[in-house]
A = this chain, B = another copy of it.
């Protein structure tokens, strides 16, 4: 899981499949990669469509999937695509991944994560990098999964456990339910909820959920 300078053959015409439910994003990806990077780009608007295309046309050199598109269901759809693509790299493209998502994505066998906040020219490099068998992840995120550093910027200093509890909060679950599912005592859950509200500046769990969603934490 490294990012760095590698000698990559730029002459190969890579066959790339991109799936995203934002047609505009799709069009622009395709356009950029085709014109500026000389790749052969195929697009899809849902996971099902993407899988169908892979089955019909054979594995692509690199497949990029939007995490929030129809049919993805989190990493479940990712695994489906990986299984279909015959060992070739499948990566996730997303705007604001949470630490929890990062873990799940990489553990699911993805070849990497590309942020939509990344400069466009980096995309082509990332694709070639992944095609060479490496796993790609932006440096910002490496700090994040190594815990404290970058997370401080985005999530108001929520600890791992607090993020976990927050994810249950964001499903509208009760303290008791959360305690059961996480094998904790209810007072402990309350403590975490209180800490979450304090750190997010929320007056109650509902506001915490609202803010977490607005901040893209969940």
Instruction: List the interface of chain A (C-beta within 8 A of B).
Output: 21-25, 27-29, 31-32, 35-36, 95, 115-121, 123, 169-172, 174, 202-210, 213
Contact = CB atoms under 8 A, between A and B. Distances in A.
Given A28-B28, A172-B204, A209-B209, A95 B35 contact: no
Nearest to A45: B117
- Counted per complex, copies of this chain come to 2
Contacts of A213: 210, 213
Given A28-B32, A209-B210, A213-B213, A203 B172 contact: yes
A115 B172 contact: no
Contacts of A206: 169, 172, 205-206, 209
B119 A23 contact: yes
A117 B21 contact: yes
Contacts of A31: 28, 31-32, 35-36, 120
A155 B96 CA distance: 22
State the main secondary structure of chain A at its contact with B.
helix
Given A21-B117, A117-B22, A118-B23, A204 B28 contact: no
Interface centre among A35, A120, A170, A202 (most CB of B within 10 A): A120
A116 B25 CA distance: 7
A23 B120 contact: yes
A116 B24 contact: yes
Contacts of A25: 25, 28, 116
